Amino acid sequence: MTFKASSVTLPDLYEASIVELQDGLVKGHFTSVQLVKAYFGRIEEVNLKGPALHAVIETNPIALSQAAALDSERKDKGGRGPLHGIPLLLKDNIATLHEEGMNTTAGSCALLGSVVPRDAFAAAKLREAGAIFVGKANLSEWSGMRGEWGHLKGQVPNGLSERGGQTLSPYYPNAHPSSSSSGSGVAMAVGLAAGSLGSIVYPSSRNNVVGIKPTIGLVSRSGVIPISSHQDTVGPMCRSVTDAALLLNFIAGPDPRDEVTLHQPGIVPDYMKALDKNALKGARLGVPRSFIRNIKIIEEAFNSSLDVFRALGAEIVDPADFPDTKELLTSKAEKRVLDVDFRVDLNKYLSELVDVPTGVKTLAALIEYNKKRADLGLPPPFYKDQSQFIQSEAAQVDDAYFSALAEDFDLGRTRGIDATLAQFNLDAILLPTDGHAPGPAAIAGYPLISVPLGFQPDDVELLPTMASSVYTQAPGLPFGIVFMGTAYSEFKLIGYAYAFEQATHVRLQRRAYDDAIPRTQLTDVMSQL
């Protein structure tokens, strides 16, 4: 759908791509100020009002003045490139300049008003390219590392934070948005910004968008409130593979403040050159069949997609199981590594803050802070749950930790993904995104790309979580397919994902439910002048 302003056809902000928006800015069809106003209007409609999606924690108070400055710069000096004047959202664990007026809190009041020393590296790269951060996206508080998060009774629902409330899916009223970066996923689904950063795979799948989880070491984590330095990374979440590849181009690269990024193999490629509709011709793709969780509707859609890959010239090896499947599904090593990494990495992040009004500068202090104000934090019955915090605080960097780390790398890399690629002579691995798919890549630190695959049917049973009244299964909820490869194989995976996306256009097959779709468009803003 497009909209007309006089003789000019304007993009529909529900689906508008970064390339489309930049084209309109270059041609003078609209300005960045108008674009920011339109996105602000869309956020206002559905974030706290109407369906109350709670996708955005706060908006940038100086975004309009930044947009005006970038409009003037474009007029006087020309544009900086494809992100000049483009409005983006960042997950609320990605630091942005304190003087800009937005907080970086991981959804917690413990860091409200805290002063970060600088932009996160990824944010700085986007800002340098001319992007405008219109707001911070909601998330599972502390990226799901506070208490026991999940669907069972007593567990904290994903997408819930003290500052942002409960994020909800735009595909069915009061439905679950999935995982930590739920706000980024929901915001992209209904067009609350042109692109976003988050962390990445599950919320991309559940919200019908594209997510690229890069290799650990491709994108710096400096300035990002952490989970685990061995597993956690920032990546683009967008409405298309093209937009996600474009953002990855800007945020990838070495950063002295994140030592692992200094070991990248050679120069970072131009990921936009991977966008080839014929990329799947001759590719060998494997299906670890025994790793697929038995969800009939999703498995049927996945199986049907294999014919699409074959039609596009790929050879499907099915089954192509991980040699260590049983161990991957039963290993406890990942939990031990996460417990230790969270304490060590969070304490490092907090220690580098310039100021924290609450005095929370360690995980131990954070636990005490939450105890003293338990009734003011998360809603009951979740507000007392700090079980993950407490486990992490007790975890030690010891022989058991190093053994667990070695086990993760052995299971995920040596005897997992790399062994499977070698044994079956594969270029990449395919799985439904839902279920166990992200596990091997997470412990290996390897890349994943999730692309829309399908939707739950209208007659599917409505299932609430045991943890809350939010639905975990509902009509129309999206799900994705994931492309998995070895370290630094993003270029190849982007090509495969793009070819599949262009052949299927699954995202366009179903829109969000009507009340969740914002009505504000550029024409509305421009008609006000």
Q: Which residues have a catalytic role annotated?
A: 91, 180, 199
Strand 87-91 vs strand 195-198: parallel, antiparallel, or unpaired?
Answer: parallel
Q: Report d(CA 190, CA 171) in Å as an integer.
A: 10
Run of H or E residues at 277: none
Token code pair at residue 486? 């070895």
Q: Treating both helix axes as pointing N-terminal to C-terminal, what angle do 18-26 and 241-251 enclose, rounded to 10 degrees?
A: 80
Q: Are 458 and 299 in contact (CB under 8 A)?
A: no
Token code pair at residue 474? 């509902």
- 3-state DSSP helix/strand/coil % of the chain, to nearest 5: 40, 15, 45
Q: Which residues contact 475 (CB under 8 A, 6 or more apart)?
A: 172, 456, 457, 458, 459, 460, 462
Q: Are 33 and 67 in contact (CB under 8 A)?
A: yes
Token code pair at residue 508? 């366009």
Token code pair at residue 327? 């161990």
Q: Report d(CA 296, CA 107) in Å as an integer.
A: 35
Run of H or E residues at 399: helix 399-409
* Of 89, 93, 13, 12, the residue nearest 56 (C-alpha): 89
Q: Are 453 and 506 in contact (CB under 8 A)?
A: yes
Q: Treating both helix axes as pointing N-terminal to C-terminal, what angle do 32-46 and 63-77 enclose, rounded to 10 degrees?
A: 160
Place of tokens 């920011």: 36
φ/ψ (deg, to 5) at 351: -65, -25
Sheet holding 195-198, edge to edge: 56-59, 132-137, 87-91, 195-198, 235-238, 210-213, 448-455, 478-484, 428-432, 284-286, 315-317
Place of tokens 């990024």: 261
Run of H or E residues at 66: helix 63-77
**491: alpha, beta or left? (left if phi > 0; alpha if psi -120 to 50):** alpha
* Of 148, 172, 437, 170, the residue nearest 160 (C-alpha): 148
Q: Please, which residues bridge with residue 252 across strands? A: 219
